[in-house]
Structures are given as C-alpha cells and as structure tokens.
C-alpha cells in the first residue's frame, strides 16, 4: 500500500495547478467512480489529454483586479 501511495502526487499549496503523476489502477476504481466528473477530469489530465485547471485558491475572484494600483489617467 505504501508503494502505491508514493506514486501518486499530492497537490502542494505552492503549486498553482494540480499535478497528476500516476493513473489509478482499474482495480482501485469502480464504474461509479469512473463516471464522476472529477475522476474524468483527473484521468484526462493524467493522460495528457487536457491541461490541468488552476487550483481554486489561485483563481481570480469576481470583481478582483489584476493590480492593486489605479492606472494613471492621461492629461490633455
């Protein structure tokens, strides 16, 4: 069990995207698990078919600006 866990990467708080290093064995998943949206996203990322999404903590929040300063206004 320890060997299997060591092959799966966990998401570090220092990374902005999720990283998948190993595919779960078919014996460890059920049809119900394989039909969940999160598993399908994990599988697509792990197979390299899709780019990982940014973690929720790094996504830009609604109404939040990219910079904290007000841009200068041109003078006539």
- Tell me the per-residue pLDDT of 6-55, one tens digit each, with 9 for 90 and over: 455 555 566 665 555 667 777 888 899 889 888 888 888 878 888 777 76
Specify if 74 maps to a domain.
no
Specify if 43 maps to a domain.
yes
Can you say whether the dihedral through the CA atoms of 10, 16, 21, 26 is positive or negative?
positive
The beta-strand segments (E) located in 10-54 are: none
Model pTM score: 0.42
74 by Cβ neighbours in 10 Å (0-12 / 13-18 / 19+) ranks as: exposed
Within a 13 Å sphere around the CA of 32, how many CA atoms are in the beta-carbon half? 0
The domain tally of the chain equals 1
Specify if 40 maps to a domain.
yes
* Residue-range definition of the domain harbouring residue 41: 2-58
- Residue 4 scores a pLDDT above 60: no
Specify if 23 maps to a domain.
yes
Specify if 37 maps to a domain.
yes
So what's the pLDDT on residue 55? 65
Three-state secondary-structure class, residue 55 = coil
Specify if 73 maps to a domain.
no
């Amino acid at each position: 069990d320890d060997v299997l866990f060591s092959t799966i990467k966990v998401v570090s708080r220092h990374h902005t995207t999720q990283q998948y290093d190993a595919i779960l064995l078919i014996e460890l998943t059920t049809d119900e698990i394989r039909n969940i949206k999160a598993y399908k996203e994990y599988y697509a990322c792990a197979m390299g078919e899709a780019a990982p999404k940014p973690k929720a903590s790094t996504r830009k929040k609604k109404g939040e600006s990219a910079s904290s300063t007000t841009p200068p206004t041109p003078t006539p």
